[in-house]
Amino acid sequence: MYSQVAHNYMPSVLRSFALSLAVSVVGMGVGMFIPPALFLPLAILELVMLIGAFFLRKRKAVGYAFLFIFAFISGITTYPIVAYYAASAGTNVVLMAGVTTTVIFGSLSLYATKTKRDLSFLGGMLMAALLALIVIGIFNIFSPLSSAAMLVYSFIGILVFSGFVLFDVNRMKQYGVSAEDVPLMALNLYLDFLNLFINVLRFFGILSSDD
């Protein structure tokens, strides 16, 4: 049932999520001026913050400052990815990936809020799929996958993070959002959107390079 708590605070989650995206875009702009040597330390800091968020969520200690600092740093570390595909595949591919991600995210979010089904059963499957993606991603660092394999990997990533959009938005609708949960829920949506975008961008980039 769509609780009163959810009714009161879901708009706050969406506003915080939208603002985090804006902060991330600012971070990408700043990334243009960051020396290449700093990207790895920033990526490590981003990973540490992400792991920290996993433990802080149990104490509901993820606040707005954490959300926006993380979004800013992840924007900086995303810049090299965007710049690479803009240079190799063209800015049109980057723009198309952004529009496609927004359409997918918006459509799935709308469905997740309108459906009467509880989609929490997706949680276990999505976590297993995410762990598999992480393992394959680490493997790819040491033994790069072929173009065809990366295309399949990216497509599976699109499916997995599309599933996370459904899961996270539907969970808010079904079980409600308290005031202290708003930054954490916004962080979840931000991560869903960002990872969906990266996978869509990589998918389009590989398709473009194969033309």
**Radius of gyration (C-alpha) of the chain in whole angstroms:** 17
Mean pLDDT taken over the chain: 92
**How confident is the model over 109-114, as a mean pLDDT?**
95
Q: Is the pTM of this model over 0.85?
A: yes
Residue 95's nearest CA partner among 199, 197, 210 is 197
In which domain, by residue range, is 168 found? 4-210
Lowest mean pLDDT among 23-27, 126-130, 174-178: 174-178
**What is the per-residue pLDDT for 2?**
46
Lowest mean pLDDT among 23-37, 47-61, 93-107, 156-170: 47-61
CA distance 48 to 150: 26
Domain total in the chain: 1
Residue that is written with structure tokens 């240079």 in the block: 87
